[in-house]
Structure 1
Amino acid sequence: MRSPSRQRLGALLVVLAVIVVVGPLAVSAATTPTASAADNDSTRGATLVGMQSEGAVTQYDANGDEVWTERGENVDYFDVTKLDNGTVLAGFIVEGEQSCGEYEAPCSRTGYRLIEPQPEPHVVNEWSFPVATKLNSEVHDANILSSGEVIMTDMDAERVFTIAPNGTTTWQWNASNFYDAPPDPTQTDWLHINDVDPIGGDRYMVSVRNANQLLVIERGEGVVDVINEDTERGNDQNCKANNGLADYSNDSGGDVRCGDPEILNHQHNPQYLGPDAILVADSENDRVVELHERNGSWEVVWGVDSSNGVRFDWPRDADRLPNGNTLITDSRNNRVVEVTPEGETVWNTDTGIWPYEAERLPYNEILNDDQLPRMNGTGDTPTTSGETLPLLGQAHAGLSYVVSLPVWFQPWHIGALALGVIFALVGGVLVWSGRRR
């Protein structure tokens, strides 16, 4: 015997499911501002982008159009630098390798590659070492020093090191000399050291993502300065999340070196503007900020958190350009944008999935230059906001790694989709059961 009431309720839930899913998607897509075109700056150079999930290095012209792309199999690319001879130095990791040293094959290998763009983009040289897994074991950054050495970050062993042209290690700094280390750093995403830049003499600025800190390390001396020092124990949980920092030696009552997440929260790719100024992608706060040192402490003096009306989503690179604008890599929105000190977007390009870092040519990343414009607090200085939907945020992050999501698709849309699926399933069951009764 049929049950009309069940069928009607089921049909209503199915209709409601369609409304819950289609309505928010349609409204968000229709109301998102259209990306502005590039201005008519005839001096703008090309832009080089390293893309993680896309596994590609691409150069875009002044109009944001693709010029060339080197794309590898099972590879992630990170920091990119165009050298004087025209080749591109790129940090990378590749999985499915058979030359694995102490690890069981297949393994991953990470290090740097040299890419020749002409006549067709191709890898001409590589230096790498084996790691057990591709996840959180990468060399994110590599730079050639004036000595001819290459300096790199090693996220697997949590160190910074240099190699000579023949591949031998000439110097290294181990993070265990400063932070309380786990028994085996390669078994956990402990510090996630993701950037190193030479800043003059034998000093390097190092980004320690999971500690919310930037370190100045002097060769032969160790850590000589800390940006965003640990001053409050209340911040520790931010750095302990996801098996990060911990009191591994059990000698500090659980205290760890954790910087204030209101200043920096799991940052990437800082640019050293000088002894008292740093520009940095404040990734987990979804903004880019400029920090100045005032009376012994570092403060946010300028920031921007959106472009073309769309909020940044996990920006991972920011470079101050000679014209005073800032080039920003907005990773989960799959775009690179150039904004003025007032936050106006004057150039943008869509990229492949998860761009990691971008360089405006011919400058690359300019470091420690007194002539580079600094902000004076006249721009937008956004405040930080906590993650209100952590589970949906994680789902959105995972989805954005495998597919290119439109900029208007936010974590709450996943909640709407899930709710729509539930309504549709329950409605379908009610319709089916109503017909059987």
Structure 2
Amino acid sequence: MNTRLLLRLGFAVLVLAAIATVGNAMLTADATASDPAAAFEEGERAVDPPGETTVITTSQHGNNFLVAFAPDGTVAYYDDEYAFYNEVERVPGTNSVVYVATEHLNREQCHATEPCNRNVIERVNLTTGEREVLHERTNPRDRNQWHAIALLDDDGERIAVGDIAFDRVFVVDTETGVIDWEWEAQTDYNLSSGGVYPGDWTHLNDVEALPDGRLMVSLRNHDQVVFLDREDGLQENWTLGADGDHATLHEQHNPDYIPASGGGPAVLVADSENNRLVEYERTDGGDWKETWEWSDLDLRWPRDADRLPNGHTMVVDSNGGRVFELDTEGEIVWQVEMKGAYDVERFGVPADRDGIETARELGLPGETAQDTSARESVPEPRDVPAGSIGALEGVVPSILLNGLLYVLPPWFGIRELAATGVLLVAGMVWAGAELRWRGFRLRSPIERRRE
């Protein structure tokens, strides 16, 4: 038989087998694994009673939603209209929340030459379901979607927005639509720092209003938490972390400020690429000192950590597929399974953070998955299915593994990853062979050999 025919048959078998492997996994996947919306219905008893209303958003590649659990564990509100849901904050003294979400628009819908994101800041009454768009802006899809908001008054009329698309923070009056203050990262940072400009340069993913009027901002791709005075701008001597100093912070999310009244100033951070929660206190000398660290064998790419008035800590474990409450003994006392969760808002936390205490004040036990010291109890081994991509931890770099877990659906495991690799390699080799058989050679420029 002709050698070329045999090779073509071999390539065809490899390509078809790889496609069949991935296709079968996709078609046989549990619907709830690829469609989180199927997991919750308003009125159902979905989780153990959290004690206070608990609102969670999800933001991953796939179907996303906002869900509110009532104190008794029933689903009080559910919405999956938008493509992404990011930060959510309670309107003080009400049963309403304000959140930032993003709708994908095609070129025709946004009257542009490329697809767009419609970023909306919306208020919803969790009791009545009444919704109101407070502010919205559209930006090119490749500039990412808004992640962060902070309410600056009890009515939610003035809001600070972390504009990830244009690397800035601005304050908008939602009654008039007027932006009356802004800070641009380019004011204080060189374009050679952080990520790639003009793509994902700062990845500005959080803004928090502090009791003293300042704003605390997370610049993920600079590995820094910075503090802004609305009159003087960046307070450089308050910056936590440094660009590339991954021992301090590595592409963090959603820092939580603890004021001096609770033993601070301190910052509790979801240190995402380091797969840990970490707390830093500011010393009398103006430095930041690490005072607490926590992780377990399941924690993978956390994106939120909030200290509660009772000393517990709410945690969003995005790629670990869970949102949980950690008590003062380091034990998980409440949990809901949810892949791709982004932010959690537990009602009952004062807007001024009064009564929130540091880990040092509370005497919280620190724990890390790498700690080899003796303990009274040892965490159970991580329950990662043998075929899960998560089983590659320790084999591939954390930043690559977390990226794969973020963008790939839950049914896509090691077998499917291997099949995709076979498909790509076989396809490229086959294409190269066909070009060579037809007389093409790699030259500059590429040309066909004349016989």
SS at match of 1:210: helix
Identity of aligned residues (%): 27
Cα offsets for 1:299-335 (capped at 9, x unmatched): 22112112xxx42111100110111010001111221
2:141 pairs with 1:141:
no
Task: Spell out the pairing of 1:216-295 with structure 2 (5 A cutoff).
Answer: 216-224=227-235, 225-230=237-242, 258=243, 260-274=245-259, 275-294=264-283, 295=285
Partner of 2:53: 46
Whole-Å separation in 1 of the counterparts to 2:337 and 2:75: 10
Cα offsets for 1:88-132 (capped at 9, x unmatched): 21111211155647x43542111412223344x464324211111
Over the aligned positions, Cα root-mean-square deviation in angstroms equals: 3.8
Whole-Å separation in 1 of the counterparts to 2:280 and 2:398: 31
Partner of 1:116: 125
- State how many pairs are aligned: 347
2:207 pairs with 1:196:
yes
Q: Which TM-score applies when normalising by structure 1?
A: 0.69
The answer as to whether partners of 1:212 and 1:259 remain within 8 angstroms in 2 is yes
The answer as to whether partners of 1:334 and 1:404 remain within 8 angstroms in 2 is no
Whole-Å separation in 2 of the counterparts to 1:79 and 1:421: 36
2:90 pairs with 1:82:
yes
Q: Which TM-score applies when normalising by structure 2?
A: 0.67
2:287 pairs with 1:301:
no
The answer as to whether partners of 2:47 and 2:73 remain within 8 angstroms in 1 is no
Shift of 1:185: 8.2
Structure 1 unaligned blocks of 5 or more: 1-37, 231-257, 427-437
Partner of 2:329: 342
Partner of 2:171: 162
Shift of 1:189: 0.4
Cα offsets for 1:3-26 (capped at 9, x unmatched): xxxxxxxxxxxxxxxxxxxxxxxx
Q: What is the letter of the counterpart of residue 295 of structure 2?
A: D
SS at match of 1:338: strand
Whole-Å separation in 1 of the counterparts to 2:110 and 2:421: 44
Partner of 1:176: 186
The answer as to whether partners of 2:218 and 2:224 remain within 8 angstroms in 1 is yes
Structure 2 unaligned blocks of 5 or more: 1-45, 372-392, 427-451
The answer as to whether partners of 1:396 and 1:414 remain within 8 angstroms in 2 is no
Whole-Å separation in 1 of the counterparts to 2:151 and 2:345: 15
2:58 pairs with 1:69:
no
SS at match of 1:191: coil
Whole-Å separation in 1 of the counterparts to 2:203 and 2:315: 21
2:357 pairs with 1:373:
yes
2:298 pairs with 1:311:
yes
Whole-Å separation in 2 of the counterparts to 1:392 and 1:338: 24
Shift of 1:378: 4.6
Higher relative contact order (CA 8 A, sep 6+): 1
Shift of 1:50: 1.1
Q: What is the letter of the counterpart of residue 299 of structure 1?
A: K
SS at match of 1:397: helix
Partner of 2:380: none
Cα offsets for 1:246-275 (capped at 9, x unmatched): xxxxxxxxxxxx162112111111111025
The answer as to whether partners of 1:51 and 1:77 remain within 8 angstroms in 2 is yes
Partner of 1:418: 418
SS at match of 1:390: coil
SS at match of 1:78: strand
Whole-Å separation in 2 of the counterparts to 1:279 and 1:397: 23
